[in-house]
Amino acid sequence: MPKLLMVEIVLACLVAPAVGADAPREKRPPNVVIIFADDLGYGDLGCYGHPTIRTPNLDRMAAEGLRLTQFYVAECVCTPSRAALLTGRLPIRNGMCSDTKRVLFTDSLGGLPHEEVTIAEALKDRGYATGCVGKWHLGHLPKFLPLRQGFDSYFGIPYSNDMQPTYLVRGEEMVEEPVEQTTITARYTDEAVKFIRENRERPFFLYLPHNFPHTPLFASEKFAGTSRRGLYGDVVEELDWSVGQVLGTLREEKLAEHTLVIFTSDNGPWLIRNQNGGSAGLLRAGKGSTWEGGMREPMIAWWPGTIPAGRVSAELGCTTDILATICTLTGVQLPKDRTLDSLDLSPLLLGTGDSPRESVLYYRGRQLMAARLGPWKAHFKTQDGYGQPKYEEHDPPLLYNLEHDPSEKYDVAKAHPEAISDIRRLVAEHEAGLEEPPSQLEIR
Ligand code: MG
């Protein structure tokens, strides 16, 4: 029998009090850093098989930690994917999706609802310093910016780097418009390093969502023209440098063994950008699609001395699981008054057990397009290109064994009706408990 997808998790750990600057380092809960790339594909890193993009820092991070090969985001575009990461809830539950507007735009009046509990809010109650540096895209009006969602500080472009006007915010003040984008990765990196150094004596949470490699692409003078993969490669190699700066700072400050760092991306490569878009490697399609290339991402977890080095795992995970995983590792209680889509991956990270996740739901806006259970994925609807408004419906659904056929080439629905029945049961259980709030993306 499939496990219920929606699991209300009751943690065995005690609700620990806030731990401040006076606690000795070894008594403090771990620091947490999440580095989130924008539109980076499954195949864009050296350690995920790219032949010409050089990513020595991410490759080293993977060699010193855990690299996952079947890790997912909860939506195939920016805004809903980010809302899911920070709340541990599918966008269909937190109002951050729509069938008519895929993401928040510059004329949007909505944002992440304040009743949602972000990772920053959960950790702030435990005494963490919380900083956000980079692309927000969960509401650009001051009332929705990071300072109102659990972060002590914010520096970044509040949405995508192709949206006009492109401006930079510190706290809630606009400080630059238009943004000099060639130096933005370097400036985000400086801010991140400064945040780590300033908070080295207390537990901290740093959320570092980069604006790149979302287009338009810009690299600094140091990286422009240096990659064999062209401008896209320059940009990814600069992001890799940035990861190296963050991990290097943690080592210098003797915080590496007290810090969990997670690296992943918000959605697959933006293929309609042609050579300025990335690669999903052997996976089918990219950003905006519920084929694997749109939603399966690189994921590396690093915590020297706690996460065993050098492991690669094909266990399942999703960005919505990061909330529950962090709460377990930091001794924070999860919100109990709502349905979460967050499963605790800490046994997988620590090497003590397998992932509890057996299924994945593939949403596009409010449409549940596909579902995965074990190795089987059924597509009820498909939509190939980024801009195409029409779904193609499939009854019976298309069925792929993703572990035999990661490129989703061979429909085996006829041979495996039992796999389709199991997935239909999973979807029925999910939909039976679903309450959909109004869409924040449609507020103008
Ligand atoms: Mg994106």
Domain ranges of the chain: 31-358, 362-432
Whole-number Å distance, alpha carbon 39 to ligand 1 midpoint, is: 4
Q: Which entry of 50, 76, 78, 210 is annotated as an active-site residue?
A: 78
Burial (0-12, 13-18, 19+ Cβ within 10 Å), 165: exposed
Q: How confident is the model at residue 265 (pLDDT cuts 50, 70, 90)?
A: very high
Whole-number Å distance, alpha carbon 201 to ligand 1 midpoint, is: 33
CATH superfamily of 31-358: Alkaline Phosphatase, subunit A (3.40.720.10)
- Give the pLDDT confidence of 30-47 residue by residue, as tens digits: 999 999 999 999 999 999
| Distance between CA atoms of residues 113 and 100, nearest Å | 19
Q: How confident is the model at residue 390 (pLDDT cuts 50, 70, 90)?
A: confident
Question: What pLDDT score was predicted for residue 13?
Answer: 37
Residue 268 sits at the vertex; the CA angle it makes with 154 and 350, to the nearest 5 degrees, is 70
**Residue 167 reports pLDDT greater than 50:** yes
**Residue 10 reports pLDDT greater than 60:** no
Q: How confident is the model at residue 16 (pLDDT cuts 50, 70, 90)?
A: low
Three-class SS of residue 136? coil
Whole-number Å distance, alpha carbon 281 to ligand 1 midpoint, is: 17
- Give residue for tokens 């620590």: 350
**Low-confidence winner among 16-20, 42-46, 111-115, 431-435 (lowest mean pLDDT):** 16-20
- Give residue for tokens 């933006």: 270
Q: What is the mean pLDDT of the chain?
A: 94
Whole-number Å distance, alpha carbon 329 to ligand 1 midpoint, is: 28
Whole-number Å distance, alpha carbon 117 to ligand 1 midpoint, is: 22
Pick the CATH number of 362-432 from 3.40.1440.10, 3.40.50.300, 3.40.50.10420, 3.30.1120.10: 3.30.1120.10
Amino acid identity for residue 422 in this structure:
D
Is 78 considered catalytic here? yes
pLDDT, average across residues 378-391: 81
Amino acid identity for residue 117 in this structure:
V
Question: Which tokens is 264 given?
Answer: 């992943």
- Helices and strands: H and E segment counts in the chain: 10, 14
Are β-strands 259-265 and 31-37 bridged in parallel, bridged antiparallel, or unpaired?
parallel
Question: What pLDDT score was predicted for residue 387?
Answer: 63
| Distance between CA atoms of residues 172 and 145, nearest Å | 7
**Low-confidence winner among 183-187, 293-297, 318-322, 381-385 (lowest mean pLDDT):** 381-385
Q: How confident is the model at residue 8 (pLDDT cuts 50, 70, 90)?
A: very low
Contact 232, 39 (CB under 8 A): no
| Distance between CA atoms of residues 79 and 390, nearest Å | 21
Whole-number Å distance, alpha carbon 40 to ligand 1 midpoint, is: 8
- Give the pLDDT confidence of 50-72 residue by residue, as tens digits: 999 999 999 999 999 999 999 99
- Give the pLDDT confidence of 109-130 residue by residue, as tens digits: 999 999 999 999 999 999 999 9
Question: What pLDDT score was predicted for residue 150?
Answer: 98
Whole-number Å distance, alpha carbon 331 to ligand 1 midpoint, is: 31
Question: What pLDDT score was predicted for residue 2?
Answer: 41
Question: What pLDDT score was predicted for residue 431?
Answer: 97
| Distance between CA atoms of residues 93 and 97, nearest Å | 9
Percent of the chain with pLDDT over 90: 91
Whole-number Å distance, alpha carbon 29 to ligand 1 midpoint, is: 31
Contact 205, 130 (CB under 8 A): yes
Q: Which entry of 137, 210, 214, 258 is annotated as an active-site residue?
A: 137
Is 258 considered catalytic here? no
Closest CA to 42 of 62, 69, 61: 69
**Residue 299 reports pLDDT greater than 80:** yes
Distant-in-sequence, close-in-space partners of 183: CB < 8 Å, separation ≥ 6? 220
Q: Tell whether omega for the bond before 146 is within 30 degrees of 0, i.e. cis.
A: no
| Distance between CA atoms of residues 417 and 444, nearest Å | 45
Whole-number Å distance, alpha carbon 42 to ligand 1 midpoint, is: 13
Question: What pLDDT score was predicted for residue 34?
Answer: 99
Question: What pLDDT score was predicted for residue 219?
Answer: 98
Whole-number Å distance, alpha carbon 293 to ligand 1 midpoint, is: 13
Half-sphere exposure (CA, 13 Å, Cβ side) for 440?
A: 25
Contact 177, 168 (CB under 8 A): yes
